[in-house]
Structure 1
Amino acid sequence: MHPDLSPRHASCLLFDWDGTLVDSQYANYRAMAAVLSSEGVDLEQAWFDARTGLSSAEMIRTLVDERSLRLSRPVEDLVADRDRMFLEEAHTVRPHQEVLQVVEAMRGRVPMAVASGGARHVIEATLRHQPFHSHFDALVTRDDVDRGKPAPDIFLHAAELLGAHPSRCTVYEDSDEGVEAAHAAGMTVIDVRPYTRLRFRSGT
């Protein structure tokens, strides 16, 4: 485990899903871009990458507001198609090794939960293919709360399920919205981006 990723004295660990536990960024982008292309929308990956802390529905609504788009189908239908496309590739998604090392090292030592802005059925389907599929004590998703990130609801609900005070929780995140949500929840947050992207900078 990289020393900067050590949770130190945390009573519980909360892990974001996409981009933190798993390297699903490009698969998620391809699915979203394909769905929006059917609406005549060209989704740039840079725009998508800057908003990965949002749920799919919130991302589409943000895009609609920013570009004054008129969609031919409800947002919920677009999200369902996006999820279906992504799940066709769920078996190809791999864990971020740097974060996997944390999960493996802390398994059985403190309670751990996945706390994600994604959809429950998508995460559960993808989780089955992961080496850490049985390591977590709880799964909290955007489906379980009223507000998604950057609101703190997902993290607060996860801490409640684990019986831990928010101030004793450490969150692992990879998005600005997730970091903001962790701070709003009064939790310690570790931004994994400098560590999960090291291999890309080194060309490995």
Structure 2
Amino acid sequence: MLFDLDGVLTQTDKMHRKAWQAMFDEYFAKQGLEPFEESDYFNYLDGKPRAQGVQSVLESRGVSLPFGEATDAPSPHTVNGLANRKNECFLEAIQEGVEPYAGSEALLRAIKAAGRTRMGVVTSSNNGPIVLEKSNLAHYFDLVLDGNVARAHALKGKPAPDTYLYACEQLGETPDKAAIFEDAVSGVQSGDAGRFAQVVGVNRGVGAQKLMDNGATCVVDDLGELAEALDGNW
């Protein structure tokens, strides 16, 4: 079983939204552009690699910047510079700890207790290990594939299926026998493109129908629903 991280397992999706808001509010105000809206997060950022998301938002405002390099200093001069400024905001926010979703942790406990399947995290974020550590969820997982691992292996980010397929292979499974859990449109599209047996959408604000329309095989509002359904039925 493969899980997205932010918004599926941990409440860092809210922290990401605030960090994006802070970075874009500052940048857009200086450029005289329309303010950043919550819909921008779901339409252009949610689930995507950070720099790719920045580029999508800028394109929606008719702005073109040099893409730059992942090592760019935080600045408004390149796409990667803006992405790295956002990451600064996010890292500041998580220093006091990260809250997991209670229902998600209940499902992880149930799966781990059954001992019949291996679990992995597949996230576009570069901060996967630190978020798992601060949320005390790291011990549940046999594999963590984050943005750093994806770059090291030249894997395309979501909505391409590459990261999920690679993680599945590393766990010794095949997609037709595996399930993924996603809260983002790009994430369920990734699972659908990879032909995974189950693509479970977690509705944290995108909308159940939108997740279904983009590849989810089922949608829940909280993974605790699955923990209750599976209790004693493994």
TM bin, normalised by shorter chain, reads 0.7 to 0.9
Structure 2 CA distance for aligned equivalents of residues 85 and 54 of structure 1: 18
Any conservation in 2 of the 1:150–1:181 contact (CA below 8 Å)? yes
User: What does residue range 80-95 of structure 1 map to in structure 2 within 5 Å?
Assistant: 80-90=84-94, 91-95=96-100
Structure of greater Rg: 2
Report how many aligned residue pairs link the two structures. 184
Any conservation in 2 of the 1:87–1:125 contact (CA below 8 Å)? no
Paired-residue identity, %: 26
Please report the TM-score for the alignment, with normalisation by the length of structure 1.
0.83
* Corresponding residue of 1:33: 21
* Corresponding residue of 1:101: 106
Residue 77, structure 1, aligned to residue 81, structure 2: yes
Q: Which amino acid aligns with 1:49?
A: F
Q: Secondary structure at the match of 1:38?
A: helix
* Structure 1 residue 197 displacement after superposition: 9.6
Any conservation in 1 of the 2:182–2:201 contact (CA below 8 Å)? yes
Structure 1 CA distance for aligned equivalents of residues 22 and 193 of structure 2: 34
Please report the TM-score for the alignment, with normalisation by the length of structure 2.
0.73
Q: Runs of 4 or more off by more than 6 Å in structure 1?
A: none
Deviations 1:95-133 (CA, angstroms, capped at 9, x unpaired): 1122211111111431100011111xx121111112322
Any conservation in 2 of the 1:166–1:185 contact (CA below 8 Å)? yes
Structure 1 CA distance for aligned equivalents of residues 24 and 202 of structure 2: 29
Any conservation in 2 of the 1:98–1:195 contact (CA below 8 Å)? no
Structure 2 residues without counterparts, runs of 5 or longer: 66-75, 204-219, 225-234
Any conservation in 2 of the 1:142–1:154 contact (CA below 8 Å)? no
* Structure 1 residue 70 displacement after superposition: 4.3
Greater Cα offset, 179-188 or 82-91: 82-91
Q: Which of 128, 137, 140 pairs up with 1:135?
A: 140
* Corresponding residue of 1:115: 122
Structure 1 residues without counterparts, runs of 5 or longer: 1-12, 199-204
Q: CA RMSD in A?
A: 1.9
Q: Secondary structure at the match of 2:24?
A: helix
Decide whether aligned partners of structure 1 residues 50 and 65 sit closer, same or farther in structure 2, where only a CA change above 3 A counts: closer
* Structure 1 residue 185 displacement after superposition: 0.8
Residue 48, structure 1, aligned to residue 53, structure 2: no
Q: Which amino acid aligns with 1:123?
A: G
Higher relative contact order (CA 8 A, sep 6+): 1
